[in-house]
Structure 1
Amino acid sequence: MFRSETVVENNSVLSSIVVAGVITSLSLILFPTITYADVFVPENEYVGYYDYEGVFTVVGNVKNQNDFALIPTLTISVIDDGTRITKILHHVPIPAMTDIPFKLKFPEVQSENLEVLKAELKFVKTKKNPVPIQIIYDKTLITHDDGHVTGRIQNVGNYTVYNPKVYAIVHGIENYVLDVAHNISLIEKIKPGEILNFTIYPDPSISETVRFYSCFAPVDTTVIPISTKKNDGNFDFRYDSGAWFSAAKFNEDGTEMIIRGYNSYPLETYANFEFPPISGEEKFDVTVDDQPIEFIQSIDEMGQWHVAFLIEPRFQAVVKISGFEKGLPPEVPKIPQWIKTNAEWWATDQIPDSEFLEGIDFLFKKGVVFVSGKQLAVESAWEIPSWIKTPASWWAEGKISDDEFLNAIENLVKREIIVI
């Protein structure tokens, strides 16, 4: 869900640092409110605990009370036996007047007593419409005796949402926040008007004291970006999972990556890693604690490799993925080649309007093109003037850049000259 970076440093002088709280084993911490204009983390929705696997975990809820979308960045530090461990968490985009929880783990923490420092919060403005998924608040939304919750979601928009997750804040006695949790089972997609079931489990370490859930937050940006060193450069990749992964590291020649995985829940879940291609001929292999496992390798419409496999319940192991090519990936274009090919064919009357607009529709769904407040129309309502074939032809011939073409499409959709 989020990107995090870790910094570890010795810190013997703490007099200038504001200490938010002290934690002892199996205890709960409440931290002071984080504020930045109309973006903040409420004090009673920001806590830390040791999870089922003994990993120190910080959870919270970022509220955006502005009339614009934004991407927050949180800096959270702990002092562990005199060593300061800092994580920079790049939150997912938050639409206007919306709040979305977060969870951050500190596997580096070793002691039972540590100090947690006041977090810092910054943000940048962005473009993001609310996800058209609603929680159905009726008798089917149930918090069960063992602490998990079941319920239903509905797509109230007019386009399909792929791979959504539902996050929620887990409360205990006297309304204290215990955890931030999300559905473990994969929801591949939810079509307009469709109603689907979901199940959310809290961390097993606190499941017996769960009282209720709040702040249900459907999100469609579920991948977690990670950057690690490879062949003297930065290798950026992403993953989507019901489990949590950290400490990615390549071997010396850059052909093998190890990463530590955690699944505290009593349920099987999934992991889907997305890697940029280097040669496009990669053949991957996956092991868990040096034992081969079954996995699926595929490539998506954007040309990215996917390596997907199942994660067992109560999972804590080292995952090794081999088969990377040496070196770093070349720069990947924003727009897939098939869309540019479609533009050329459409400009020369080889395909109908609908096939060209399928490519433009794809760019909207992938977030490559964005128009604030835009709701995608059903396919039968798509419209496009024939004169747009001229700029489409220029783009296909390389006379204008990808960015110039995207800006033109955004402008024409915003003015409703193109209806998608």
Structure 2
Amino acid sequence: MKTTRDLKISSIHSKISYKTLLFGIILSIFLVPQIAFADVFIPTNEYTGYYDYQGIFTVVGNVKNQNDFALIPTITISVIDDATKITKELVHVPIPAMTDIPFKIKFPDIRGENPELLDAELSYTKTEKDRIPIQIIYDKTLITHDDGHVTGKIENVGNHTVYNPKVYAIVHGYEKFILDVAHNIEPIEKIEPGQILDFTIYPDPSVSEPVRFYSCFAPVDTTVIPVTVKKNDGDFDFRYDSGAWYSAAKFDESGTTMTIKGYNSYPLDTYANFEFAPISGNEKFSITIDDEPIEFIQSIDEMGFWHVAFTVGPQSQGILKISGFDEGLPPELPTIPAWIKQNADWWATEQISDSEFLEGIDFLLKKQIVSVPTREIVSESQWRIPAWVQTPASWWYEEKISDEQFLNIIENLVERKIIII
């Protein structure tokens, strides 16, 4: 197997003319068979499987949404391994209208020499999701390097900050149309309006065929992976965001320690951020990898969820063990964070300003707790809310109206531009 140093790669700008690229696009539209619906599909030439650097069978592909609405696809992938059919289901990130976003899923339990990847099955649910205002800058700064990685720049062309964006791309070869789906492995905390930031993407080191070019760059702001694991005779749901991959989560009998296998195929450090619903709210976690303690940060977010974050070493794998969970299962958390409800009371009694209260409403919009089909985003200095909205805000704090009723009021007022934010 060739190493990344052995790869001989040329830039897309020097190897592919615009006519060649256009011809390839026409072929992919008219001649390539497609999987699933005509309006939501995975092109067969953008769907493949391979063994990664850690020996884990990996399936990559690209979901294209040609509808005029956003959706959340569910991808069912099956692999025949030594006459045994192994199936996994992936709930993909929301895909805005007329957009495509690649995916990657791993099968650690596949061991055969020649696993057979079957056609994927697709279903979806409609959702509301606008394109994030991040663009790849297609100029001389977008470079495919000799060792197979690509560097470039992204720009926030919108008027609001985007938090935790990630850039996905399809990696193409000469003999194989698709080699891998990869993304930046160094986290981007946020990108402000008008800001330009660098990004770097590496293919999996197992890719032995020279990289030809990268395509289908897809900036996303929702990259967390949901996981459900059995805990104390119930289902415990959690999420993680990482440049590494985690699988086979399991709790011990007490329900206080979780183990999960981790893999980082890439030649650089990456990150992991796990999100857990609190049980008592007093949890104090500890983390080991292969029974060796590691440094991590424990924090709590605005919604009241715990986060544990740490660095993952390059080309590493091991058993992650997180201890410190309370026994039992989490209680149902309120849809709206308590601090926003408290702000409603303070604003209704004129203890805080309009802008301080609207920061909470803006949070609900960004988290899609409040959903508005058409929303004109303006600068903070242009935020506006009528004083009479203090009355329903006060009713909500006093529990004279429900969370759902209050959210409906806010959605209606934002959509009608009575509240501007």
% identity of equivalent residues: 74
Secondary structure (helix, strand or coil) at the match of 1:371 reads coil
Alpha-carbon separation, structure 1, partners of 2:45 and 2:73: 19
What TM-score do you get using the length of structure 1 for normalisation? Answer: 0.91
Alpha-carbon separation, structure 2, partners of 1:93 and 1:178: 24
Aligned to 2:228: 227
* Alpha-carbon shift at residue 80 of structure 1 (Å): 1.2
What TM-score do you get using the length of structure 2 for normalisation? Answer: 0.91
Is the 1:32–1:118 contact (alpha carbons within 8 Å) kept by the matching residues of 2? no
What does the per-residue CA deviation read over 1:98-140, in whole Å, with 9 as the maximum and x for residues that have no partner?
A: 0000001111101112222221111111000101100000000
Is the 1:101–1:169 contact (alpha carbons within 8 Å) kept by the matching residues of 2? yes
Secondary structure (helix, strand or coil) at the match of 1:325 reads coil
Aligned to 1:282: 283
Q: Which amino acid aligns with 1:187?
A: I
Is the 1:70–1:125 contact (alpha carbons within 8 Å) kept by the matching residues of 2? yes
Alpha-carbon separation, structure 2, partners of 1:372 and 1:175: 41
Q: Which amino acid aligns with 1:372?
A: P
What does the per-residue CA deviation read over 1:362-401, in whole Å, with 9 as the maximum and x for residues that have no partner?
A: 1112221121242421110001111111111111111111
1:155-304 superposed matches below 5 A:
155-174=156-175, 176-206=177-207, 209-304=210-305
Alpha-carbon separation, structure 2, partners of 1:278 and 1:228: 15
Alpha-carbon separation, structure 2, partners of 1:357 and 1:117: 50
Alpha-carbon separation, structure 1, partners of 2:49 and 2:235: 31
Secondary structure (helix, strand or coil) at the match of 2:381 reads helix
Q: Which amino acid aligns with 2:337?
A: P
Indicate how the Cα distance of structure 1 residues 33 and 144 shifts in structure 2: closer, same or farther if over 3 A, else same: same
1:310-329 superposed matches below 5 A:
310-329=311-330
Backbone CA RMSD of aligned residues = 1.2
Q: Which amino acid aligns with 2:110?
A: V
Secondary structure (helix, strand or coil) at the match of 2:197 reads strand
Indicate how the Cα distance of structure 1 residues 77 and 142 shifts in structure 2: closer, same or farther if over 3 A, else same: same
Alpha-carbon separation, structure 2, partners of 1:314 and 1:347: 54
What does the per-residue CA deviation read over 1:41-76, in whole Å, with 9 as the maximum and x for residues that have no partner?
A: 011111111111111111000000000000111111
Residue 355 (str. 1) matches residue 336 (str. 2):
no
Q: Which amino acid aligns with 1:86?
A: T
Show structure 2 runs of 5+ residues with no match: 1-31
* Alpha-carbon shift at residue 33 of structure 1 (Å): 2.4
Aligned to 1:48: 49
Is the 2:48–2:61 contact (alpha carbons within 8 Å) kept by the matching residues of 1? yes
Indicate how the Cα distance of structure 1 residues 314 and 283 shifts in structure 2: closer, same or farther if over 3 A, else same: same
1:334-349 superposed matches below 5 A:
334-349=335-350
Show structure 1 runs of 5+ residues with no match: 1-30
Alpha-carbon separation, structure 1, partners of 2:165 and 2:208: 24
Q: How many residues align?
A: 390
Alpha-carbon separation, structure 2, partners of 1:231 and 1:186: 34
Is the 1:147–1:207 contact (alpha carbons within 8 Å) kept by the matching residues of 2? no
Is the 2:171–2:181 contact (alpha carbons within 8 Å) kept by the matching residues of 1? yes
Hey, which bits of structure 1, 4+ residues long, moved more than 6 A?
none
Alpha-carbon separation, structure 2, partners of 1:209 and 1:375: 45
Q: Which amino acid aligns with 2:266?
A: Y
Alpha-carbon separation, structure 1, partners of 2:307 and 2:376: 29
Q: Which amino acid aligns with 1:234?
A: D
